[in-house]
Amino acid sequence: MRIFSGIQPTGRKHLGNYIGAIVQYVEGQHRAAAAGDIAIFCVVDLHAMTVPWNPVEMRERVYDTAAILLAAGLDPEQCIFIRQSDIPEHTELAWHMGAVTAHGDLNRMHQFKEKSARQRDLVSADLFTYPVLMAADVLAYRANEVPVGDDQRQHVELMRDVAQRFNDRFGEILVVPELKIPELGARIMDLQDPTSKMSTTSGSPEGTVYVLDDAKTVEKKFKRAVTDSDDPPRIVRDPSKPGVSNLIDILAAARGTSFAEVEASLADARGYGDLKVATAEAVNALLDPVRDRYTALRADEDVLEAIFAAGAAKAREITRDTLADVRQAIGVGPRG
Ligand code: TRP
Q: Is residue 209, in this structure, part of any structural domain at all?
A: no
Nearest atom in ligand 1 to the alpha carbon of residue 44 is 7
**pLDDT tens figures, 214-230:** 999 999 999 999 999 99
Taking CB atoms within 8 Å and a gap of at least 24, the contacts of 103-112 are: 105/158, 105/161, 106/131, 106/132, 106/158, 109/154, 109/155, 109/158, 110/154, 111/151, 111/154, 111/155
pLDDT band at residue 184, thresholds of 50, 70 and 90?
low
Asked whether residue 264 falls in the same domain as residue 225, the answer is: yes
Residue with more model confidence, 177 or 268:
177
* Domain interval for residue 264: 215-294
Closest of 186, 189, 266, 184 to residue 226, by C-alpha: 189
Ligand 1: centre distance to CA 274 (Å): 38
Return the number of other C-beta atoms located less than 10 Å from residue 26's C-beta.
Answer: 18
Please say if the pLDDT value at position 3 is more than 90: yes
| Domain presence at residue 200 | no
Amino acid residing at 97: M
Q: Note the pLDDT tens digit of each residue in 101-114.
A: 999 999 999 999 99
The answer to whether residue 314 sits within a structural domain is yes
Q: What is the pLDDT of residues 272-327, one digit of tens each?
A: 999 999 999 999 999 999 999 999 999 999 999 999 999 999 999 999 999 999 99
Q: How many domains does the chain have?
A: 2
The verdict on residue 199 lying in a domain is no
Q: Are residues 139 and 245 in the same domain?
A: no
Q: Is residue 335 part of a domain?
A: no
Does the pLDDT of residue 9 top 70, yes or no?
yes
Distance CA 131, CA 136 (A): 9
Residues of the chain above pLDDT 70, percent: 99
Q: CATH number, domain at 252?
A: 1.10.240.10
- Ligand 1 pocket check for 25: Cβ under 6 Å: no
In a domain, 102, yes or no: yes
Q: How many CB atoms lie within 10 A of CB 80?
A: 26
16: domain CATH number is: 3.40.50.620
Residue 193: inside a domain: no
| Terminal-residue alpha carbon distance, the chain | 29
Share the mean pLDDT of the chain: 95
For a ligand 1 pocket test, name from 8, 41, 134 the mutation site with the most ligand atoms within 8 angstroms of its C-beta.
Answer: 134
Same domain, 136 and 253: no
In terms of domains, do 64 and 175 share one?
yes
**pLDDT score of 101:** 98
Judge whether 136 and 91 are in contact, CB under 8 Å: yes
Beta-bridge mates of residue 210: 14
Q: Is residue 189 part of a domain?
A: no
124 plus 83 within the same structural domain: yes
Both 279 and 322 in one domain: the answer is no
Residues 220 and 239 in one domain: yes
**Are residue 289 and residue 305 in the same domain, yes or no?**
no
The verdict on the CB of residue 47 being under 6 Å from ligand 1 is: yes
Q: How many C-beta neighbours within 10 Å does residue 31 have?
A: 15
**Cα–Cα distance, 264 to 236 (Å, whole number):** 9
Residues 175 and 28 in one domain: yes
Q: Are residues 106 and 233 in the same domain?
A: no
The arithmetic mean of pLDDT across residues 78-105, rounded, is: 98
Confidence band for 48, pLDDT divided at 50, 70 and 90: very high
Mutate to test the pocket of ligand 1, among 2, 3, 7 (most ligand atoms within 8 A of CB): 7
Q: Are 35 and 164 members of one domain?
A: yes
CA dihedral 190, 149, 137, 70 (to 10 degrees): 60
What's residue 163's pLDDT?
98
Residue 185: pLDDT band by 50, 70, 90 thresholds? low
Flag whether pLDDT at 186 surpasses 70. no
Work out the burial of residue 331: count CB atoms within 10 Å of its CB; fewer than 13 is exposed, 13-18 middle, 19 or more buried.
exposed
Helix ranges (DSSP H) in 179-333: 215-223, 242-255, 259-265, 272-298, 301-330
Ligand 1 centroid – CA 43 distance (Å): 9
Q: What percent of the chain has pLDDT over 90?
A: 90
Residues 281 and 323 in one domain: no
